[in-house]
Structure 1
Amino acid sequence: MVKKRMVIILTIIQLVIFSLIGRLVQLQLVSTESFHGINLIEESVAQRTEQLIIDDGRGMFVDRYGQPLTYEYIPTLVLFPFLKKMDWPIDQIATIVSMPKETIKRQLEEAKGPIILHNGQQPIQLQPWQMERINELHIPGVIAVHKQYELEQKYAQHVIGLLGENEKLLKERYRDRTLSPKTKIGVSGLQSSFDEFLIPDGETKLLYHVDARGEPLFGMDVKYTEQANPFYPITVQTTIDRTMQQHVEQIIAQHGMEKGAVVLLDVETNDIVALASAPAMDERNPYKNEAAQNRALLPQVPGSVFKVVVAAAALENGLVHGQTFNCDRKINGEPEEKKKGMRSFEESFAISCNNTFAELGKQLIAMDKNMFDIYAQKLGLLPRVGWEGDVYHFESFRPLREEKQGKIWTDERDKHVPLAVAQTAIGQKDVRVSPLAVANMMATIARGGEAKQVRIAQKMMYKNGTTFFTFDEKRLTTDSLRQETIDKLQELLQLVVMHPEGTGRAFQSLPYTVAGKSGTAETGKEKLVNKWFAGYFPADRPKYALVVVQLETASAASVTNAIFADIVRATYELEQKGMNEG
């Protein structure tokens, strides 16, 4: 009996020993990099390593002039905590950086790890000669580096987009790559669409090994590690003008636009100069009130802005020949509250007479059920207008991947219903187009009829500054309007501003002459409308196309025109300043 008990006890002991050995094998040999989602090697190294991240390795965005839009590199001074336990030439460093050595000592005494030397609340910014002199001294634990910092001022947040940690999505996107589960990836905007090019290959950091008491383990040498690939990370040069973008965002904020969008395009290149969406995004809670949505890329009810399409189709198809239209009637035949009398086609456009375009719309659809679609595409309003093409091994790459396609009809049967056609002709019913697409239509007209894709990125560059890929200008369609039609549309858009009763007459006193079209669209919400003004300037030599839309606002409270006017003024002032400096 005793013998049997001993055998059982010994067997249990052996099983426990074998279990412990198996566990050690698992920890030390098998699951060292994936033990319950933890990389044991990394964690063990981290326990005995003091380090400072200099650069997280992710690619960056810059504006058209190379100004940073996401983060910048500040030349500054790194100090390691073991300095407070050794004699080092602090006086020399204090002299070079022009800072009392007591201030340096105090910051070191408070340090629990590597620190950036600060002057008040800000890191000190070194001059090139200071960096060179500091690093020539070869003092262990004293290193001058270019440290990566997020910009305090955020630019074009809806365009650039958000970063976030999502281990599941990270694994789905990058199955073939070994990345830390804490690697941030793009979840919206350009950060998302360019993520495959921007994802880091590794961090740049300063580090040294310590023992259990925090003392240097292998001497005082600090190791500098960086990405192995000398060409990465990639920099994306956008078409954004950082200064103009800042002005646009400030103007929107000053006028308190709660919901809407602004798009400013360069007419010649069709590049986005500035793009903003309201409300502004709070990165601490970006999805509150749907603030993360880029409303400039989402289809909205355009109202009378759509009359440009009807006007173009009517002109091309010979429906305009000096006749007058009854502007005392609504599109359903009922009397208008504000009587405007019999008006010519040109006046009807200037004062935005609904009945004129309802009648023309019905005639056009009677000729061809697809008439609105055909001319919307010729004007660069449909389908999507953002740049699209093959990039590297990505087919149909779209930088503005959140752009949604507009539409004119939801139910084809509406093309046979006169009232539905009339409502569609004035940009109501089911018509939906994005502010970006409307801006593209205005740029197409201003440019003389050539519809182009809208660019947000100019090129991608390697770390050494050489070009990796260029986003060439591309046609949106080769099917253009006749030159006489474009000339007439330009006259009509100028008349909106210059006519005494024109809906854009408030812009007559601006430093640039403006051509454009207003729009007031019913939203389906009681007494709330979308207020648009879309146009280009200077009218005689177009350089910019501009669209401002305030969504779901009380008509009397609209700030659309005020924002449009202030952006035109800001553009003028910046150009004058540039000319004077030049």
Structure 2
Amino acid sequence: MWRRRAKGWLFICIFFLTFLLFRLMQIQLMDTESFSKHHINLLEESVKQRTQELVIDNGRGDFLDRNGNMLAYKKESVLVLFPFLKKMNWDVEKVSSITGIPQESLQHAVETAKKPFAYGNPEPLELTHSQVERINALEIPGVFAIDKKFERATVPAEQLIGLTGENLKVMMERYPKKDLPRETLIGVSGLEKSFDEFLLPEGKSKLVYHVDGDGAPLFGINVKYVDPANPFYPVNVKTTIDKKIQKKAEEIVDKYKIKKGGLVLLDIKDNSILAMVSRPHVNKQDPYNGSGVANRMLKQQIMGSVFKTVVAAAAIDQNLDNPARLFNCSKKINGEPEVKYDYGELNFSESFARSCNRTFGELAKELQKIDPSLLEQYAAKLSLIGPVGWTGDVYHTNDFKQLGEEEKGRVFLSDAARKDPNYVSMSGIGQHEVRSTPLAVANMMATIARGGKNEMVRAVSKIQYKNGTTMVNFPLQELPGDTISPYTAMKLQKLLREVVINPNGTGKWFQDLRYEVAGKSGTAETGKFQDGKQLHNKWFAGYFPYESPKYALVAVNLDVYDNEGGVNLLFADMVKMLYAYDQESE
């Protein structure tokens, strides 16, 4: 009996010893770089246990504005101190003399530190070039003056640039064939996501030293500098944003307390984004709690009377713009008496300037009788249906989209609506199912200003290698499809200018600006109510200077009451700012 038990115990012991031996082989030999379902790199983790490091640069590529300035990050010369200084005598007096930091503050910071740090709280103290040279000339182990990369507390065009984060599952799904560290930052929104594969790091630049269990140096006090040392990577993405204009645009939007909305500013010459502001702000602590992460300038919105520009274009081509014809603007679109906006009888041009709903409801129905798809055809010609962001082939990627989160616009959702006169008349004034993005509206204005030439909108002009040479160019490209004729564009230009110069026009507020403005206003009913009152979208879209177009601008305030939240003052301040900016540049 005892022999049987002994054999049993012996078998159990052998089994467990074999299992432990296999587990040890798995840890030490087989799965050292991808252990368990969490794919833990045991080699890296073991090194981390006996090293302390200060990351100087996370290795991910940067976004630059059109003048080469960093957007999401900044580089500053800072004083770096290592914790092992507390265990040695170092010349704190000389460091204090050079930096102006009290000796007591330096010593206290070192005594309380558990890992290497850049001196300063909450923002690191920035050193001058002379201070950097003098500190490093001291050659004190554990004391360095270096250029360190920091994320900006406030990122210009934060929704356009986008967010990064660590997400092992998404990273492995996106890059199954790449051997990337588990803590690699990947793009999760905006341009960070669109250009993620280009921006992936080769490795981090860092200062490293080895420690024992108490944090004391293991191999003396030598600090090593670790760097991928690749002259080409990481690459930088050169955007079309002008950082100075962007910052001023954000200040103007916040001045008018835009809670939901923003603006888009295009450079008409190269059809690129100069500035893009979306509100609300991104919540840095919890980006996906709330709607701040969404770029509202790329989301379809109810556009209201701005859509009358499309109806006008179709009416011009169908010879429905007879200046002698008068429309009864004392009636609403449904034929009932108009009390609030009783304009009497107006011709085509006056109706556009004063934004008479009756006129464009009637014209939409007449166009529908000619061809039920005319409104959609002209919306496409004017780029409202979109998308309008740059698309093309880049290396092995077909149909690469710079603005991957851009939504399409629309005029109708069903064939029944397309053929229903009541729905058509409502669509003619930009209501019912008509939707477009602020970016597409800005592109419509740029298209008209260029005489009908319809181009893709660029947010990025090129990708540059680390040494500044070009890796990828994103050239100007025309949007596919039909366009309006130069004659139609010229007629639309006059209509848009009439909105401003007409004494009763909805853009008369811009008559005295130094840059002559042409544009169209819009107030859209949203069908949403708050405290028993309907919310509206307030728009103004235009371009300037009128004679030599340079800028296309759209300002929009979403979900506001009818009697508040207008964007005329915001638009005017942007025009004034750009005029002053151009004068200063010249």
Shorter-chain TM-score bucket reads: over 0.9
Q: What CA distance in whole angstroms lies between the structure 1 residues aligned with 2:215 and 2:286? A: 38
- Alignment partner of 1:573 out of 562, 566, 580: 580
Corresponding residue number in structure 2 for 1:26: 26
Which one-letter code corresponds to 1:405 in the other structure?
K
Corresponding residue number in structure 2 for 1:14: 14
Q: What's the secondary structure of 1:528's corresponding residue? A: strand
Note if 1:385 corresponds to 2:388: yes
Note if 1:43 corresponds to 2:45: yes
The superposition leaves residues 54-99 of structure 1 with CA deviations (integer Å, 9 ceiling, x where unpaired) of 1111111121112221111112232222233334454554444454
Corresponding residue number in structure 1 for 2:211: 210
Corresponding residue number in structure 1 for 2:71: 69
Q: What CA distance in whole angstroms lies between the structure 2 residues aligned with 1:190 and 1:29? A: 40
Q: What's the secondary structure of 1:146's corresponding residue? A: strand
Please give the residue correspondences for 1:98-109 in structure 2 after superposition, counting only pairs within 5 Å. Answer: 98-109=100-111
Q: Is the 8 A contact 1:380 1:477 kept in 2?
A: no
The superposition leaves residues 167-197 of structure 1 with CA deviations (integer Å, 9 ceiling, x where unpaired) of 1111101111122222221111111111111
Q: What's the secondary structure of 1:22's corresponding residue? A: helix
- Alignment partner of 2:519 out of 516, 534, 543: 516
CA spacing shift, 1:299–1:2, aligned 2, 3 Å: closer
Q: What CA distance in whole angstroms lies between the structure 2 residues aligned with 1:13 and 1:497? A: 92
Corresponding residue number in structure 1 for 2:462: 459
Which blocks of at least 5 consecutive residues in structure 1 are unaligned? none
Q: Is the 8 A contact 1:297 1:404 kept in 2?
A: yes
Note if 1:274 corresponds to 2:275: yes
Note if 1:549 corresponds to 2:550: no
Note if 1:336 corresponds to 2:338: yes
Q: What CA distance in whole angstroms lies between the structure 1 residues aligned with 2:481 and 2:26? A: 64
Q: What CA distance in whole angstroms lies between the structure 1 residues aligned with 2:407 and 2:303? A: 15
Corresponding residue number in structure 1 for 2:372: 369
Moved more, 28-37 or 289-298: 28-37
Corresponding residue number in structure 1 for 2:176: 175
Q: What CA distance in whole angstroms lies between the structure 1 residues aligned with 2:316 and 2:16? A: 91
Which one-letter code corresponds to 1:259 in the other structure?
K
Corresponding residue number in structure 2 for 1:166: 167
TM-score with structure 1 setting the length: 0.94
Q: What CA distance in whole angstroms lies between the structure 2 residues aligned with 1:81 and 1:164? A: 29
Q: What's the secondary structure of 1:208's corresponding residue? A: strand
Q: Is the 8 A contact 1:377 1:477 kept in 2?
A: no
Corresponding residue number in structure 2 for 1:349: 352
TM-score with structure 2 setting the length: 0.93
Root mean square deviation of aligned Cα: 2.1
Q: Is the 8 A contact 2:273 2:457 kept in 1?
A: yes
- Shift in Å, 1:306: 0.7
Q: What CA distance in whole angstroms lies between the structure 2 residues aligned with 1:16 and 1:187? A: 45
Q: What's the secondary structure of 1:503's corresponding residue? A: coil
Q: Is the 8 A contact 2:52 2:210 kept in 1?
A: yes
Q: Is the 8 A contact 1:458 1:471 kept in 2?
A: yes
CA spacing shift, 1:480–1:16, aligned 2, 3 Å: closer
- Shift in Å, 1:364: 1.9
Q: Is the 8 A contact 1:378 1:477 kept in 2?
A: no
Q: What's the secondary structure of 1:520's corresponding residue? A: strand
- Shift in Å, 1:163: 1.5
Moved more, 431-440 or 320-329: 320-329
- Shift in Å, 1:233: 1.1
- Shift in Å, 1:503: 0.9
Q: Is the 8 A contact 1:266 1:543 kept in 2?
A: yes
Q: What's the secondary structure of 2:148's corresponding residue? A: strand
Note if 1:499 corresponds to 2:502: yes
- Shift in Å, 1:563: 1.5
Which one-letter code corresponds to 1:535 in the other structure?
G
The superposition leaves residues 104-154 of structure 1 with CA deviations (integer Å, 9 ceiling, x where unpaired) of 333322322222233x65423333344345445544333332111111232
Moved more, 81-90 or 234-243: 81-90
- Shift in Å, 1:460: 1.0
Q: What CA distance in whole angstroms lies between the structure 1 residues aligned with 2:276 and 2:492? A: 25
Moved more, 391-400 or 23-32: 23-32
- Alignment partner of 1:84 out of 86, 90, 95: 86
Q: What CA distance in whole angstroms lies between the structure 1 residues aligned with 2:2 and 2:443? A: 94
- Alignment partner of 2:452 out of 449, 456, 471: 449
Q: What CA distance in whole angstroms lies between the structure 2 residues aligned with 1:34 and 1:320? A: 71
- Shift in Å, 1:455: 0.8
Q: What's the secondary structure of 1:556's corresponding residue? A: coil
Q: What CA distance in whole angstroms lies between the structure 1 residues aligned with 2:535 and 2:174? A: 42
Corresponding residue number in structure 1 for 2:187: 186
Which blocks of at least 5 consecutive residues in structure 2 are unaligned? none
The superposition leaves residues 224-243 of structure 1 with CA deviations (integer Å, 9 ceiling, x where unpaired) of 11125331111111111122
Which one-letter code corresponds to 2:28 in the other structure?
Q
Q: What CA distance in whole angstroms lies between the structure 1 residues aligned with 2:517 and 2:94? A: 61
Which one-letter code corresponds to 2:557 in the other structure?
Q
Q: What CA distance in whole angstroms lies between the structure 2 residues aligned with 1:134 and 1:339? A: 76
Q: What CA distance in whole angstroms lies between the structure 1 residues aligned with 2:213 and 2:523? A: 71
Q: Is the 8 A contact 1:533 1:560 kept in 2?
A: yes
Identity %: 49
Corresponding residue number in structure 2 for 1:220: 221
Q: What CA distance in whole angstroms lies between the structure 2 residues aligned with 1:559 and 1:352? A: 16
Corresponding residue number in structure 2 for 1:199: 200
- Shift in Å, 1:378: 2.1
- Shift in Å, 1:24: 1.8
Which one-letter code corresponds to 1:430 in the other structure?
E
Q: Is the 8 A contact 1:435 1:547 kept in 2?
A: yes
- Shift in Å, 1:340: 1.6
Q: What CA distance in whole angstroms lies between the structure 2 residues aligned with 1:121 and 1:279? A: 25
Q: What CA distance in whole angstroms lies between the structure 2 residues aligned with 1:286 and 1:23? A: 41
Q: What CA distance in whole angstroms lies between the structure 2 residues aligned with 1:479 and 1:572? A: 34
Moved more, 48-57 or 103-112: 103-112
- Shift in Å, 1:297: 0.7
Note if 1:291 corresponds to 2:298: no
Moved more, 568-577 or 240-249: 568-577
Corresponding residue number in structure 2 for 1:540: 547
Q: What CA distance in whole angstroms lies between the structure 1 residues aligned with 2:257 and 2:107? A: 48
Which one-letter code corresponds to 1:82 in the other structure?
F
Q: What's the secondary structure of 1:523's corresponding residue? A: strand
Q: What CA distance in whole angstroms lies between the structure 2 residues aligned with 1:92 and 1:332? A: 83
Moved more, 265-274 or 414-423: 414-423
Q: What CA distance in whole angstroms lies between the structure 2 residues aligned with 1:196 and 1:507? A: 45
Q: What CA distance in whole angstroms lies between the structure 1 residues aligned with 2:8 and 2:327? A: 106
Q: Is the 8 A contact 1:316 1:482 kept in 2?
A: no
Corresponding residue number in structure 2 for 1:418: 421
Which one-letter code corresponds to 2:456 in the other structure?
Q
- Shift in Å, 1:8: 3.8
Q: What CA distance in whole angstroms lies between the structure 2 residues aligned with 1:371 and 1:11? A: 85
Q: What CA distance in whole angstroms lies between the structure 2 residues aligned with 1:528 and 1:122? A: 42
Which one-letter code corresponds to 1:369 in the other structure?
P
Q: What's the secondary structure of 1:171's corresponding residue? A: helix
Q: Is the 8 A contact 2:451 2:485 kept in 1?
A: no
CA spacing shift, 1:138–1:2, aligned 2, 3 Å: same
- Shift in Å, 1:339: 2.3
Q: What CA distance in whole angstroms lies between the structure 1 residues aligned with 2:549 and 2:264? A: 16
Q: What CA distance in whole angstroms lies between the structure 2 residues aligned with 1:105 and 1:289? A: 43
